[in-house]
Structure 1
Amino acid sequence: MSRNPRPQRRGRREGKENHDRWLITYADLITLLLIFFVVMYAMSRLDVEKYDIVTQSLQLTFSNGDSLIEKGTGVLGSEDRHAFKNPPTDSAGQGEQGPGQGGPNGQNAKSPSGQPERDGGDSSQKPLTDRELAFRKQEEELQNLMGLIEAYVKENQLEDQIRVADLPKGISITLSDRFLFDQGKAALKPDSAKTLTKLASLFRRLDTMISIEGHTDNVPIGRGFDFKDNWELSGERALSVLRFFLDREKLDPEDFQYAGYADTRPAADNATAAGRQKNRRVEITVLRQLQQ
């Protein structure tokens, strides 16, 4: 008697299910989180100088405006268009004033005509701090300085050699290298002394930091010149202007800083001759920065 044949297998055994596929999603999530934190860190790096300027400006703005909650004129100085008054304490609306109808501050008091009137005095405004007063004074000085330099440039027809601009960091005075130096040199031309002396007389009245920066185009320095590269040239040119202010005009060295940036901060396109000429310059910036 024969045995029953063994039943045939039904094809291949199904493969085992992979239970580690979640690792792919987890790895993607971790990668995205890493990118997110890298971006957040990059955005969190602050320009300390600009941060101080913005902070001082905001402090000055918000300290000058009286609060809208106290029925003031607000930060923008506009009149409050809404009347938030408590009802009169008596039926006739006269007599003793309630908490919202005058009180110690005299706000919303009634005129003889019966209409509410605002206190025209500045008693509700807080007095400015010494630093805020100094910041306001410095801003007035910077604007006056810019006007004087612009008038001097126009009077002496130096528009193609000297440019003045009001930048967030301060008043920028850009002097062309043709006005200050010979090609590839860092010694000041004699003709530039008159203008630098005028600037020194204006700087002497200020109480702020002055930055002097040398810049070049991207053309390498050839043989036969006194400098190794554009870094040395830009630094020596800035130093020549600084020494003029210190040695000849006797200004305070603590009020100055200088640097050479070669061709790393171009003001125009180095692909053209006109652009390269604009890049060869010395920038003197009177900073919006209060001295301690």
Structure 2
Amino acid sequence: MKKKKGGSGGANWMDTYGDMVTLLLCFFVMLYSMSNMDKNKWIALVASLNPSQNIEEVVNQEQGGGVTQTEIDQNMDELYQTLSQYIAESGLSDKASLTRGSGYVFVSFDDTVFFDGDSYVLREDGKKVLDQIALPLSEAGESINEIRVLGHTAQMVPDRPNNVEADRFLASNRATMVTIYLQEKNIIDPARLVSVGYGQWRPVAENDTSADREKNRRVELVVSGLQLDGEYGDSITQYYTMRSEQANE
């Protein structure tokens, strides 16, 4: 009597099933990677699972690498207070002004703090001022979105604009030298440091008198804080993420 040959087909269904599960897993991973969950829906979901948690802070931590909007605002306030104290104690009150706005700290320096005459070479005592400013900037680093350095000149003759080339170069070079010095301090990601030369075109006073022209010759620092609860969140990171995605399309 012939024996029936045993078949191995009974286990083949497991191979097929395993392949199907793997494909489904890949499919759902692909869907998840393409999804963009609405922030409000995410907050509602997390709140339903853990009502006692401060959901806004959880979301902000995810967006800002661990820092919350509350901490950012506190850091910017501390930056303002520290700079204010330094300006008062260092005798710069007549050569510098400080303003705290919504989401930013604005510092304006008389150009003589950093430069001589028509020069764009940083003075040694100007470097010492930047050394002191760099310390609180570094401490608030993770809360800073951008440090913008602005260079301004004065119109020498009231009824005749400055030479365009000399005017723009002087303003831009002064802003650039301050920016370079701050960058060499490694206080913040260089991508968040910007220099701008406005020349004579954004005066804060008339140019009719030497006193007014002195007010217009200045170097300004605009330190803006991260706005995690805004439409675009961290604007610098958003920009590079968008450009990277476009380049890979």
Q: Shorter-chain TM-score: which interval?
A: 0.5 to 0.7
Task: Tell me the amino acid that sits aligned with residue 238 of structure 1.
Answer: A
User: 1:282: how far off?
Assistant: 0.6
Instruction: Please give the secondary structure, in 2, of the residue aligned with 1:152.
Output: helix
Q: How many residues align?
A: 165
Instruction: Please give the secondary structure, in 2, of the residue aligned with 1:260.
Output: strand
1:250 aligns with 2:186: yes
Task: Tell me what 2:60 maps to.
Answer: 131
Between 1:200-209 and 1:236-245, the stretch displaced more is 200-209
User: 1:169: how far off?
Assistant: 5.6
Q: Equivalents in 2 of 1:275, 1:219: separation in Å?
A: 11
Give CA deviations for 1:118-174 in whole Å, capped at 9, x if unaligned.
xxxxx6997324338722221111111010011111111110112111134610111
Give CA deviations for 1:177-234 in whole Å, capped at 9, x if unaligned.
11110010100111111110111111112222111110111127xxxxxx94211110
User: 1:289: how far off?
Assistant: 3.2
Q: Do the aligned partners of 2:154 and 2:207 also contact (CA within 8 Å) in 1?
A: yes
Select which of 161, 177, 184 maps to 1:240: 177
Q: Equivalents in 2 of 1:151, 1:125: separation in Å?
A: 37
Q: Equivalents in 2 of 1:183, 1:152: separation in Å?
A: 25
Please list every run of 5 or more consecutive structure 2 residues that lacks an aligned counterpart in the other structure: 1-42, 44-50, 62-66, 158-163, 228-233, 238-249
Task: Tell me the amino acid that sits aligned with residue 204 of structure 2.
Answer: A
Structure 1 ranges of 4+ moved more than 4 A: 123-126
Task: Tell me the amino acid that sits aligned with residue 137 of structure 2.
Answer: F
Please list every run of 5 or more consecutive structure 1 residues that lacks an aligned counterpart in the other structure: 1-62, 64-122, 221-226
Task: Tell me what 1:178 maps to.
Answer: 112
Task: Tell me what 1:161 maps to.
Answer: 95
Kindly report which structure 2 residues correspond to 1:56-75, keeping only aligned pairs within 5 A, or say none: none
Select which of 74, 77, 80 maps to 1:143: 77
1:276 aligns with 2:213: yes
TM-score of the two chains, using structure 1 as the length reference: 0.52
Q: Equivalents in 2 of 1:272, 1:185: separation in Å?
A: 21
1:260 aligns with 2:203: no
Q: Equivalents in 1 of 2:56, 2:175: separation in Å?
A: 38
Task: Tell me the amino acid that sits aligned with residue 275 of structure 1.
Answer: D
Determine what percentage of the aligned residue pairs are the same residue: 25
Highest Rg: 1 or 2?
Answer: 1
Q: Equivalents in 2 of 1:232, 1:197: separation in Å?
A: 25
Distance change in 2, residues 1:144/1:243 (3 Å): same
TM-score of the two chains, using structure 2 as the length reference: 0.60
Distance change in 2, residues 1:167/1:265 (3 Å): farther
Higher helix share: 2
User: 1:253: how far off?
Assistant: 1.0
Give CA deviations for 1:58-110 in whole Å, capped at 9, x if unaligned.
xxxxx9xxxxxxxxxxxxxxxxxxxxxxxxxxxxxxxxxxxxxxxxxxxxxxx
Distance change in 2, residues 1:265/1:153 (3 Å): same
Between 1:189-198 and 1:270-279, the stretch displaced more is 270-279
Q: Do the aligned partners of 2:98 and 2:107 also contact (CA within 8 Å) in 1?
A: yes
